[in-house]
A = this chain, B = another copy of it.
Amino acid sequence: MSKNFPADSVGVVKPTVQHFTDPLMLDCGRALAEYDLIYETYGKLNEQRSNAILICHALSGDHHAAGFHSEEDKKPGWWDSAIGPNKPIDTNQFFVVCLNNLGGCKGSTGPVSINPLTGKLYGPTFPIVTVRDWVESQARLADTLGISKWAAVIGGSLGGMQTLQWTLQYPERVSHALVIAAAPRLSAQNIAFNEVARQAILSDPEFYKGRYYEHNTVPRRGLMLARMIGHITYLSDEAMRAKFGRELKEGKLNFGFDEAEFQVESYLHYQGRSFVGRFDANTYLLMTKALDYFDPAREFNHDLVKTLANVQAKFMVISFTSDWRFSPERSREIVQALLRNRKSVNYAEINANQGHDAFLMPIPDYMAIFHAYMQQVAKEVNV
């Protein structure tokens, strides 16, 4: 590892692309004849292959969870606060795998990939993928890596939903499930926010029914609005107050619409603009649908207790007090349903004012509990 990086960093990492040729049947009824999954790994797989951890990413995440892509890279992966030597997901002990999900735009097959059947970009013809589809593809990646059972599957937000789905779909392949800042399904309000974000993209004249790339453009305005709406739901009212208050950008009111006046407006504009350059609108649409559709209890007459009857994993569920996107109440639904099934479950409700975003932050209480739990996992899997 380069001396440029902190001692608890995994340092420079390189992604790997795995090509799959077994057709994947999807929930929507269509199939992918072949596809790529891009992933990164940190740490070493032990001889018993018992120390593997799967990290599932959230809406706009990807396979680059930790470390840097070059010596010059200034920004580490999206969960670098939790993954590395001596961090909660300790790469001295665990072999960590993180992939970009199908439908993504960072290297796994998705709307910005070429459809091998047509030789053209998938674009809006890429099928809608579900959390179940993702878990299926992740299981195939595990097979190629020779991992028959994960020491733990871990994810926050939409990642937590994938974690939960793993315990239902492959109960025998998950020792521990860490479900963080998640929910067993979206609420009507959650769906409403997603729908406004989708409408912002779909109604942008530059969207061209998803074929914007054929017109050498992107639905910039729609994607910006979608991201701005998202960001409001990622932060708590409290966090926004602490971060921006009612501070004026130029110290005075402008009495006009041309410029951002309050700091919070500048922040949202910046977040919106920067997202446009690094994310694909069709992928954004797909990810929001995967969120809306996730509802494993639907098949069990909306009974979450019955839904979780056959899980084998031990659970650690974590929520954050100021998270109003997926509030602690939503996490407790999962905990209660597990308890009623007499399953092993730990639950921590972290006092944090950062809102939903807290799950990505190195909040001391959170890191301590996370770390302690993972040490327990390490002991159990004999690493």
Contact = CB atoms under 8 A, between A and B. Distances in A.
- Number of this chain's copies in the assembly equals 2
Interface string A107-124: 000000000000000001
Interface stretch (A68-76, A87-95, A225-233): A225-233
Contacts of A235: 189
Nearest to A243: B188
A225 B196 contact: yes
A63 interface: no
Contacts of A15: none
Contacts of A253: 293
B293 A228 contact: no
A241 interface: yes
A241 B188 contact: yes
Given A224-B199, A229-B229, A188 B127 contact: no
A240 interface: yes
Closest 10 CB pairs of A and B: A188-B240, A28-B255, A203-B221, A189-B237, A188-B264, A188-B244, A128-B255, A195-B265, A196-B228, A189-B240
Which one of A186, A198, A225, A243 has the highest number of Cβ atoms from chain B below 10 Å of its Cβ? A225
Contact of A257 (B28, B196, B202, B240): B202
Contacts of A16: none
Nearest to A231: B192
Interface string A260-273: 11111100110010
